[in-house]
Structure 1
């Protein structure tokens, strides 16, 4: 649950370009992603390290709403060549918890809290509904972050160390104040990349492949989305290991998300295409 204090500090991990745009024009809910754990909203966390980790990911995989880009009067080429999109940054806010709780909100216990067993099933159903595009009427939602199941998009797991607060209405957004921006250096991933490529070569056609099944799920999605052969998908995935985060954080997005990132990278804006694909995929499972 959210802390009982009147106020607390929350963080939003992104890249420096996005952080400065938010500071300049404010938070726009209409340009946020739709198929997320708690629905379309502006997401923050009480955990600064979690926000920093997400900032690294957002700097390695920059995307932006085409509508916002049009408002900024920028082309895709100008955006992808802007130096600040590759710099991780966190927005730091003071959240008025007392004011927020006067709104229509939903709060789930975290896994280490006493009420988790009571909330777990309703949290799972709520996240699965939001991830398929079902809308809710809450101003805000707080709870743990979900991790995707390896092979079944209809199942999720809970992260026991990560929390999230989605601000789903402008009334909730107005509970934020005292904005600051903290930029970070991008992580050194070159040695990690070399080790990952060695790992990928090792697990091909090996019994160890089941231990790295998520990488294979990304490959399978690459084949479907890009109409690729297994050899072509393997090659693209090996080349992309410079930007795939080899940690638990990768599991918080579906394999299809990373497949789109591998296919299109910083060559096009692909979020809308990804969400259309996921809606069709969920619809086909029903």
Structure 2
């Protein structure tokens, strides 16, 4: 399976030099603190274009299809009440009330800056939050390469 991580050039260099730090990102994201990847290259490209002033790196990881099998995870399929509640609690600082997993998978919140109530949340795409250091290390071992996007070449 191929996983993509979209990030700034500076953060990409740090990951390649020091490995994946699951605590490096913000904690108030959809699935809380973790290292976020997607299985959708186009989504990763769009993420770069909408952030980092349109320039950044996509780290590419090739991992075995069963890489998640030995870890506890939670998967959300679409815009369900469970997904909306989980995202709401993480984005509003209530992650300590949630069950903890080694990874969480599902759509991302497409309208994070609206003051929408959870019932108005829009789900889009695919993301996996890696929340376990051992799992992050397994993914890092699958580093395959890096794809650069530059604002001036778009």
Q: Same fold (TM over 0.5)?
A: yes
Q: Is the partner of 2:88 in helix, strand or coil?
A: helix
Q: What are the residue-to-residue correspondences of 1:119-138 with 2, within 5 Å?
A: 120-133=80-93, 134-135=95-96, 136-138=99-101
Counterparts in 2 of 1:151 and 1:129: CA distance versus 1, 3 Å? closer
Q: CA separation in 2, counterparts of 1:168 and 1:41?
A: 5
Deviations 1:236-277 (A, max 9, x none): xxxxxxxxxxxxxxxxxxxxxxxxxxxxxxxxxxxxxxxxxx
Residue 110 of structure 1, CA deviation: 3.7
Determine which structure has the larger strand proportion and give its number. 2
Q: Is the partner of 1:97 in helix, strand or coil?
A: coil
Deviations 1:15-72 (A, max 9, x none): 2221111101111122211000011000001110110111223321xxxxxxxxxxxx
- Of 48, 65, 72, 1:104 maps to 72
Matched pairs, number: 148
Query: Quick check: 42-51 or 11-20, which moved more?
Result: 11-20
Normalized against structure 2, the TM-score is what?
A: 0.84
Q: CA separation in 2, counterparts of 1:59 and 1:121?
A: 32
Q: CA separation in 2, counterparts of 1:122 and 1:166?
A: 16
8 Å contact 1:144–1:163 — kept in the other structure? yes
Q: CA separation in 2, counterparts of 1:12 and 1:41?
A: 12
Q: Over aligned residue pairs, what C-alpha RMSD do you find?
A: 2.2
Q: Runs in 1 of length 4+ with deviation above 2 angstroms?
A: 147-156
**Residue of structure 1 in register with 2:150 after alignment:** 185
Q: Is the partner of 1:145 in helix, strand or coil?
A: strand
Pair 1:31 & 2:24 matched:
yes
Residue 188 of structure 1, CA deviation: 7.1
- Of 132, 151, 155, 2:115 maps to 151
Q: CA separation in 2, counterparts of 1:28 and 1:91?
A: 14
Give the number of the structure with larger relative contact order, counting CA–CA contacts within 8 Å between residues 6 or more apart. Answer: 2
Q: Is the partner of 1:130 in helix, strand or coil?
A: helix
Q: What are the residue-to-residue correspondences of 1:8-157 with 2, within 5 Å?
A: 8-60=1-53, 87-110=55-78, 120-133=80-93, 134-135=95-96, 136-148=99-111, 150-152=114-116, 154-157=118-121
Q: CA separation in 1, counterparts of 2:122 and 2:63?
A: 25
Structure 2 portions without partners, runs of 5+: none
Structure 1 portions without partners, runs of 5+: 1-7, 61-85, 112-119, 190-286
Residue 155 of structure 1, CA deviation: 4.9
8 Å contact 1:36–1:131 — kept in the other structure? yes
